[in-house]
Structure 1
Amino acid sequence: MTDETRTETMTVIRLFLVDDHSLFRAGVRLAVEDEEDIEIAGEAATEEEAIRALVHERVPSDVVLMDLRLAAGGSGTAVLAALSEAALRAPDQPGRVPPRVLMMSVSEDDDSIVAALRAGAHGYLLKGAPKDELVRAVHTVARCGAVFSPAVAARMSRYFSAVHELPGRLAFPQLTEREREVLDLMARGHSNRRIARQLVLSEKTVRNHVSHVFAKLQVTTRTAAVVRARDAGLGR
């Protein structure tokens, strides 16, 4: 097959970049410039720019390479949620296939990874991944696969094998580790004073954690929080 014929039959992956660092976007462009089957479909530096381009303007894209955290308090998960919502609003448009999202971040903490997966990401790489790893990831996600950098895969393996020790972890990824501990003890029927003694904290600190739990779970009473916690398997 000649080069001309191969180019005509090749399926080109349209890659859209979302990152608030122009140097990072330039690095990705440089990494894929020699790949004949990858082209840059567009770029965005903020959550608002990304949603405008991908949801409202519908820039044709196959894969979105997106930073988990964006400038001005923006987040890649918010962009992903907007893409998912737009797809649900348009079930009568079968030709409109939402792009698949590959998250990148400097963070490899469990909460960040789980938050990205729960939002619908199809992969998670750490920034600084080698060029070959990045290119392979883009190809894999474009082919409807899922991909994780080796470090992230190792963390996820440890995470899921330990989930039975704290059942509510998957249900409440928005909570910090300490907030989950407090919620678990609340679900066991412990008072703030008893929780403070058990965790070696002041009662004021426990009250602050309880307030944060209420806000993140969008409940207004202790009873409602306990019901949600027990439904998720906490308090056993």
Structure 2
Amino acid sequence: MNQKTNTMRLIWPLSPHADPRREGAPLRPDQDFPVVHRVPTSVSVVLADAQPAIRHGVRSVLERSGGISVVGEAATADEVIEEMCRCRPGVLVLDPQMDGSAGAKVIPEVLRLWPGTGILVFSAVDDDQAITSALQAGARGYLFKRADADQILRGIQAVAAGEAIIDKSIAGRLGALMRATSGQQYYYPFPQLTNRERDVLERIAAGKSNGTIARELVLASKTVSNRVSVIFGKLGVADRSQAIVLARDAGLGHG
């Protein structure tokens, strides 16, 4: 993953409304490296936002990209359903705040009617409840409206490919957010990691060296070194100190 970006690709436990064929597909627990998805050669998108200027700006970005076509626009919750029915897009880019409480109900309704749809939330709201509600309802991605053109494109490509993507600023508190809103059911804060990588990260967060980790996990030092590099890439961090901060902020390494 590009370490300069502000988004993180994740494998997320989606809502019961989501298509079970895509849940967890990019990574299997017994793998150290992600399975490469084929991004559709042409992605159709419906833009749903109350502000015409936002829709125009995103449309301009997408039309210049090639391979992504905007097939419809909506300014209200009712219009979203109408456009989804008319266009049957692969991706819905949605601001859930666009129509008050009706806008917040769009995600589960769309997934009930068209369960294969990739929903990318594009919102100015950095609110814990809004974020968790959108993800639990089945949105595959959550980006803020400060995202640049490249981040928007990658977000759409990710959800179109069945992956999940969130703004990097959310990632550090993701585990705590989901635990707080799911009856204390535990969700690992970095679900893009394999089980073996989690073992390594938890020891990194505890301040252990590669040599110590190798001894504890009965692995070769080179294997641990390679796994650490993969972890850094998946977390979007440049070095060990950044990984430790991110992991500890998410609740690891304190035991």
Same fold (TM over 0.5): yes
- Whole-angstrom distance in 2 between the partners of 1:139 and 1:86: 22
Q: Among residues 81, 85, 101, which one is paired with 2:112 in the alignment?
A: 85
Which runs of 5 or more structure 1 residues have no equivalent in the other structure? Answer: 1-9, 88-96, 173-236
Which residue of the partner structure matches residue 61 of structure 2? 31
Q: Distance in 1 between matches of 2:58 and 2:164?
A: 19
Q: Deviations over 1:70-108 (max 9, x none)?
A: 135431x31112122224xxxxxxxxx632100111112
1:83–1:98 contact (8 Å) kept in structure 2: no
* Amino acid across the alignment from 1:86: L
Which structure has more relative contact order (CA 8 Å, sep 6+)? It is 2
Separation in structure 2 between the aligned mates of residue 86 and residue 61 of structure 1, nearest angstrom: 12
- Matched to 2:47, the amino acid is L
Report % sequence identity.
Answer: 29
* Cα pair distance change 1:157/1:171, threshold 3 Å: closer
The 5 Å alignment of 1:51-130 reads 51-54=81-84, 57-71=85-99, 73-75=101-103, 77-87=104-114, 98-130=116-148
Match of 2:13 in 1: none
In structure 1, what residue type is equivalent to 2:169?
A
If each structure's helix is expressed as a fraction of its own residues, which one has the higher value?
A: 1
TM-score when scaled to structure 1?
0.57
Alignment partner, residue 15 of structure 1:
45
The runs of 5 or more residues in structure 2 that have no matched partner are 1-39, 185-255
Q: C-alpha separation between the residues in 2 aligned to 1:158 and 1:130?
A: 27
Matched residue type, 2:167: S
Q: TM-score, normalised by structure 2?
A: 0.53
Aligned to 1:32, the other structure's residue is in SS state helix
Structure index of larger Rg:
1
Look up the SS of the partner of 1:101 in the other structure. strand
Counterpart in 1 of 2:194? none
CA 72–110 in structure 1, closer or farther in 2 if over 3 Å, else same: closer
Aligned mates of 1:42, 1:124 — CA distance in 2: 20
Aligned to 1:170: 182
Q: Which amino acid aligns with 2:43?
A: I
Aligned length: 145
1:154 aligned partner: 172
1: CA distance, partners of 2:58 / 2:156: 11
